[in-house]
Amino acid sequence: MLRFELLATDGLARRGRLTLNHGVVQTPVFMPVGTYGSVKGVMPASLQDMGAEIILGNTFHLWMRPGQEVLQRFGGLHAFEQWQRPMLTDSGGFQVWSLGATRKISEAGVQFSSPVNGDKLFMSPEVSMQIQTWLNADIAMQLDECTPYQTDGQLTTEAQARHSMALSLRWAQRSKAEFERLQNPNALFGIVQGGMFEHLRQESLQALVEMDFPGYAVGGVSVGEPKEEMRRIMAHTPQRLPAHKPRYLMGVGTPQDLVEGVAQGVDMFDCVMPTRNARNGTLFTRYGDLKIRNARHKADHQPLDPSCTCYACAGRSGVAWADGGREGFSRAYLHHLDRCGEMLGPMLASIHNLHYYLNLMRELRAALDAGRFQAFQAQFQAERARGV
C-alpha cells in the first residue's frame, strides 16, 4: 500500500506525508543506502536516533549475497537486518548495467556472470519483481535500463537514448504485470528515462503516467554528466510528474543538489555520498565541507560542526558546541582516529554525515511547513559558502 498526502507547497517545492506498509515517511526525505542490508558503518539504533524513516537496500547485491534462500527464510529484508521502518529496494538494473563487458542486454533482459561465483545469471523485469517480492520492501522499483551519459566514449545520441528509453518503457509494463501477478502488497514505482533529452523525458513520463504507477522516479541522472546537464533534467522532469504522487530523484546527491531538487518538486532522494565520503574523511557541515585528514585539524578542540547535535558532535547530551555542549568529539580526535586507521573514525563520521543529510531534510520540511522555503534556500547557500 501507498498513500501520499500533499501537506503544503511553495512554488514547485512540496511537503508531504507518505504512508507505507511499515510506517509513515515525512517528505521531502533522504533515504540512507544499505546496499548489503546494512548502512555502512552505522548501527540501526543510530539510524533510529538520527530519525531515518526509510532506508534503501540494493536488490542486485542482496540477490548475490545472502541470496533468496536465506532471505525467504526471514520473510524478507526487514527481519533479516532488523529494520522495522519503511524500506525501498532498487531494481538491480543499475548494478547489472555497471558490470560492463560481462553483461549482454537484450529485449528479454540482461545476461551476466555473477561477480561472486561466476554463475551465469539472467535479470529481467520478471526476475527483478520476483526478487523484490521476497525482499518485501515497502517500495519496489521497475527494472529499467539506465541510459548512460556517454556511449563508447561519445555523448549518447538521441537515437541511442530513445532506443534505451523505449526499452525501459516496455520493461516498466512487464514489471508492473509481474508485480501484480505476484500480488506483491507493496508499491511499485516507474522510472523516467530519456537521457539528457527533454522531449524523450517527456515521452517517457507520459507513457509511465498512463500505466498509473503509485509513484515515479527520475533515473539516468548522476551518471557522469556535468552538473548543468543534471540541473537541466531536474528542472524539466519532476514538476511534470503527477502532483498527487511521490517523486523520487535516484542517486542524488550533494547537499546543494538536495535543496535544488526540493525546489524542483522532488520528494525523495538517496545517495551513498554521506557514508562513502565519511569513510574517505570528507565531512559535511552547515558551513561547508571539511577534510578531516588535513593537518589543520590536528589540535582543534571544536567538533566537526559547532551547530550539530549528532552523537559525533554533541555526544549523548545532544547539546551542540555552539549551545555550550562539551560532550562531542573534537576535530583533533577524529583527525587522530583517521591517521591511526581506527574504525571509530568512519563510524563517527558516518553518523555525522547521515545526521547532516537527515537534518537538512528536517530543516527543509520545517521551512516548507512555515512557508519560508525561499528564505531557507538563501540562508543555506550563505552558510555553506561561509567555510568551516
Interface mask toward a second copy for 216-235; x: CB under 8 A: --------------------
Answer yes or no whether residue 70 interacts with a second copy by CB under 8 A.
Answer: yes
Answer yes or no whether residue 293 interacts with a second copy by CB under 8 A.
Answer: no
CB nearer to a second copy: give 266 or 337: 337
Answer yes or no whether residue 80 interacts with a second copy by CB under 8 A.
Answer: yes
Candidates 65, 104, 227, 293; binder of a second copy (CB under 8 A) is 65
Rounded distance between C-alpha atoms, residue 234 and residue 242, angstroms: 15
Torsion of CA 262, 209, 229, 88, to 10 degrees: 60
Quick one: which segment of 25-33, 91-99, 331-339, 362-370 binds a second copy (CB under 8 A)?
331-339
Rounded distance between C-alpha atoms, residue 169 and residue 109, angstroms: 13
Is 270 marked active-site? yes
Quick one: which segment of 4-12, 63-71, 171-179, 249-257 binds a second copy (CB under 8 A)?
63-71
Answer yes or no whether residue 315 interacts with a second copy by CB under 8 A.
Answer: yes
Answer yes or no whether residue 280 interacts with a second copy by CB under 8 A.
Answer: no
Q: Taken in order 140, 145, 149, 150, is the CA torsion positive or negative?
A: positive
Answer yes or no whether residue 215 interacts with a second copy by CB under 8 A.
Answer: no
DSSP strand pairing (139-141 vs 120-123): unpaired
Provide the strand spans (E) within 266-372.
Answer: 268-270, 282-285, 288-291
Answer yes or no whether residue 316 interacts with a second copy by CB under 8 A.
Answer: yes
| Interactions with a second copy, residue window 24-53 (CB under 8 A) | 36-38, 40-43, 45
Quick one: which segment of 1-9, 66-74, 161-169, 236-244 binds a second copy (CB under 8 A)?
66-74
Q: Are 68 and 131 in contact (CB under 8 A)?
A: yes
Specify the residue for cell string 560492463.
100
DSSP strand pairing (13-20 vs 2-10): antiparallel
Q: Are 77 and 84 in contact (CB under 8 A)?
A: no
- Least gap, CB of 73 to a second copy (angstroms): 5
With CB under 8 A as the rule, give the number of residues binding a second copy.
41
Candidates 298, 323, 374, 387; binder of a second copy (CB under 8 A) is 298
Answer yes or no whether residue 81 interacts with a second copy by CB under 8 A.
Answer: yes
Is 90 marked active-site? yes
Answer yes or no whether residue 343 interacts with a second copy by CB under 8 A.
Answer: yes
Candidates 235, 319, 322, 332; binder of a second copy (CB under 8 A) is 332
Answer yes or no whether residue 301 interacts with a second copy by CB under 8 A.
Answer: yes
Rounded distance between C-alpha atoms, residue 255 and residue 348, angstroms: 19
Residue 311, judged by CB atoms within 10 A of its CB (0-12, 13-18, 19+), counts as buried
The strand order across the sheet containing 103-105 reads 103-105, 110-113, 120-123
CB nearer to a second copy: give 263 or 313: 313
Contacts of 199 (CB under 8 A, 6+ apart): none
Quick one: which segment of 14-22, 259-267, 338-346, 358-366 binds a second copy (CB under 8 A)?
338-346
- Least gap, CB of 336 to a second copy (angstroms): 4
User: Within 13 A of 242's CA, how many CA atoms are on the CB side?
Assistant: 18
Reading the block at residue 66, the C-alpha cell is 545472502
Count of other CB atoms within 10 angstroms of residue 69: 8
Q: Are 57 and 79 in contact (CB under 8 A)?
A: no
Answer yes or no whether residue 348 interacts with a second copy by CB under 8 A.
Answer: yes
CB nearer to a second copy: give 36 or 287: 36
3-state secondary structure of 18: strand
Answer yes or no whether residue 205 interacts with a second copy by CB under 8 A.
Answer: no
3-state secondary structure of 298: coil
Quick one: which segment of 25-33, 101-109, 233-241, 340-348 binds a second copy (CB under 8 A)?
340-348
CB nearer to a second copy: give 49 or 289: 49
Rounded distance between C-alpha atoms, residue 71 and residue 4, angstroms: 29
Exactly one of 10, 90, 138, 338 is catalytic; name it: 90
DSSP strand pairing (103-105 vs 110-113): antiparallel
Binding residues (CB under 8 A) for a second copy: these are 36-38, 40-43, 45, 61, 65-66, 69-70, 73-74, 80-82, 298-299, 301, 311, 315-316, 327-330, 332-333, 335-337, 339-340, 342-344, 346-348
**Residues recognised as catalytic:** 90, 270
